[in-house]
Amino acid sequence: MRQSFSGRIWRPRVETGEHHHQLAKETGLRELFAGILAYRALDTPSQVEAFLQPRLSQLPDPLALMDMDKAVARLIRVVEERESFVIYGDYDVDGVTSCALLYRYFNELGHPPRIYVPDRLTEGYGPNPQAMRTLAAEGARVVITVDCGIMAHESLEVAKEVGLDVIVTDHHQGRESLPPAIAVINPNRLDETFPHKELAGVGVAFYLLLALNRALRQRGQFQEASPAPDLKSLLDLVAVGTIADVASLTDLNRPLTSAGLRMDGAHLKPGLRALMEVARLSGDRMSAGQIGFQIGPRINAGGRLGKGSLGAELLITDDPQRAMEIARILDDYNQERQILEKKIFQEAVALIEGFGTVEGRHGLVVGREGWHPGVVGIVASRLAERYHRPTVVLALDEEGGGKGSARSIPGLDLYSAVSACEEHLAAFGGHRAAAGLTLRPRQLEPFTTAFDQAVREQNPTETFQPALLVDGELDIVLANLELAGRIERLQPFGRGNPEPLWIVRNVRLLDARVVKDRHLKCMLADPWEEVLDAIAFGVLPGEPGSGMLNATGRLDVAGTLAINRFRNRETVQLLIKDARPAE
């Protein structure tokens, strides 16, 4: 198979059958959409309509989740008897948005909880025994964990001993034994029959509020003078946490995130508006891309550098001035994080390539003393993308153990591979795409061998071939505003719902020019001299930009079709992602 200028093989994202071609026509879409429908498992007209017009009314009953009834019953007592309780969250975006979500709800009821976000550097991830003892000594009766807790058996045993009732809300992969809590709400419990597994932690927390709000209404809690909290007003937090956690933007996450992204600036939380301002983001609404690349990293920056509570404070404050103060602090932390990340990435690349070519390796493990544990996850993501291998990056300690993060590649179950190496680990947790782990002392070499072996044995060879997954072929004559508008209806794009990628075959580049030393602007012309405006961002220096500029013959290009809106004028444009010589 032909490689592109960037060294990738282009493959169909999914094999499309006649059924989806027929379904595309039945639902008023072009047959171009057949592969899009197939990949998203949309098999009936009603499923297509629900996907294209996501509504909150599509959400199933929250009581379908196991232990939801137990959690609601206990929280009714908290509300009615005004018991002291704590929201215990993770320090990442999913965790702090979950904290803010619950805080804002209970605050509207006139019973605000305490928020406890552990210090990443001194306490680590999830509930810890000392925190449980401290919270009980300070008078707490109930602890609700958000985005954590499913693996915290020892800590929740301590919580039980000191008289705390713990409600676990989590979405990470569980094991057969559950932690000793009065309720464990997690769609990824091994015994859970709830079919919707892709909720982020903030989605699980929102589901808890759906059930609790209904129960309180049925008990007459809300009157005209004290109406129920508006759960829809919290969906900007759900959108941010879900998208930043790279949860699949399908199934239940689609109506939740779509509703959150529709909220305009006047209704966004002051902290989110402040982050948009410091990041110099245009527009009145957040987009999925802005959350993933601008807003989320700034919220995360505090937790990565040991200031996780800042993100929660930012999202619960209604004071615009205080929100702006925190946003600027987080922006500074984000710049500091970027410097650390760049340094560790360069050192990791040197270590990996110092061992020789990666061609014969399947799972990469790299570690060093002195690396900051708060940024190893980002470095692991960049290395996995660079080498197209699942990657573990470890911040080692003096005893040869340490804390690390792992990131996967498409089509590979990372959690399964890490689980196979359990004997070398003191602790681990995560899901298919990402994991966190603690390495036992002096186990780096055997863990490295075991991880590579597990990855190799669990996955076919083609998993490790860098590939660009495409959704179909597009003729330039069809690339118009109508088609681009239909594609926009598929937003928000992200994991599980990738932006459609099209091959435009056998084109010449016209008027090609370099913009700001990094981008390539051009027109594409097919054999019938139909033309399409196009741009390739960040492709220079290197590939595929150099290959495109130096090509002497016709090319195939792969890209996404978008509407370019400039000065009240709309035009259609192809955003080029890769190119190769045409056959």
Output the pLDDT for position 45: 96
Please report, for the chain, how many H helices and E strands are present, in that order. Answer: 20, 18
Output the pLDDT for position 522: 96
Q: Is the pLDDT of residue 4 over 80?
A: yes
Which residues touch 84 (CB under 8 Å, ≥6 apart)?
114, 139, 140, 141, 142
* Mean pLDDT for the stretch of residues 22-40: 94
Output the pLDDT for position 284: 86
Output the pLDDT for position 120: 82
Q: Which two tokens stand for residue 458?
A: 């669990």
Output the pLDDT for position 285: 93
* Mean pLDDT for the stretch of residues 55-77: 97
Taking the C-alpha atoms of residue 486 and residue 561, their distance in angstroms, rounded to an integer, is: 10
Q: For the segment 78-92, what is each residue's pLDDT rounded down to a tens digit?
A: 999 999 999 999 989
Taking the C-alpha atoms of residue 204 and residue 189, their distance in angstroms, rounded to an integer, is: 12
Cα 362 to Cα 8, 97, 373: the distances in Å are: 17, 35, 24
Identify the CA nearest to 237 among candidates 277, 217, 195, 209: 209
Q: For the segment 450-501, what is each residue's pLDDT rounded down to a tens digit?
A: 999 999 999 999 899 999 999 999 999 999 999 999 999 999 999 999 999 9
**Tell me, what DSSP letter sits at residue 219?**
T
Q: For the segment 273-325, what is each residue's pLDDT rounded down to a tens digit?
A: 999 999 999 888 999 999 999 999 999 998 888 788 899 999 999 999 999 99
Which residues touch 386 (CB under 8 Å, ≥6 apart)?
349
Q: For the segment 206-224, what is each residue's pLDDT rounded down to a tens digit?
A: 999 999 999 999 999 998 7
Q: Which one-letter amino acid corresponds to residue 120?
A: R
364 SS3 class: strand
Output the pLDDT for position 304: 81
Output the pLDDT for position 429: 86
Taking the C-alpha atoms of residue 146 and residue 150, their distance in angstroms, rounded to an integer, is: 10
Output the pLDDT for position 364: 97
**Tell me, what DSSP letter sits at residue 497?**
B
Question: Bigger pLDDT: 309 or 76?
Answer: 76
Q: What is the largest CA-CA distance in the chain?
A: 78
Q: For the segment 332-361, what is each residue's pLDDT rounded down to a tens digit?
A: 999 999 999 999 999 999 999 998 888 889
Q: Is the pLDDT of residue 432 over 90?
A: no
**235-244 helix and 296-304 helix, angle to the nearest 10 degrees:** 70
Taking the C-alpha atoms of residue 583 and residue 581, their distance in angstroms, rounded to an integer, is: 7
Taking the C-alpha atoms of residue 78 and residue 444, their distance in angstroms, rounded to an integer, is: 46
Q: For the segment 490-539, what is each residue's pLDDT rounded down to a tens digit?
A: 999 999 999 999 999 999 999 999 999 999 999 999 999 999 999 999 99
Q: What is the DSSP string of 297-357?
A: HHHHHHHHTT-THHHHHHHH---HHHHHHHHHHHHHHHHHHHHHHHHHHHHHHHHHHHT--
Strands 402-407 and 531-536: unpaired
Q: Is the pLDDT of residue 119 over 90?
A: no
Taking the C-alpha atoms of residue 456 and residue 436, their distance in angstroms, rounded to an integer, is: 20
3-state secondary structure 73-124: HHHHHHHHHCCCEEEEECCCHHHHHHHHHHHHHHHHCCCCCEEECCCCCCCC
Average pLDDT, the chain: 94
Output the pLDDT for position 368: 96
Q: Is the pLDDT of residue 1 over 80?
A: no
Output the pLDDT for position 282: 84
Q: Taking the chain, what is the end-to-end CA distance rounded to the nearest angstrom?
A: 11
Quick one: what percent of the chain has pLDDT higher than 90? 88
Taking the C-alpha atoms of residue 508 and residue 476, their distance in angstroms, rounded to an integer, is: 12
Output the pLDDT for position 175: 85
Q: Which residue reads 């602090």 in tokens?
A: 329
Domains present along the chain, CATH in parentheses: 9-53+467-581 (2.40.50.460), 58-331 (3.90.1640.30), 355-464 (3.10.310.30)
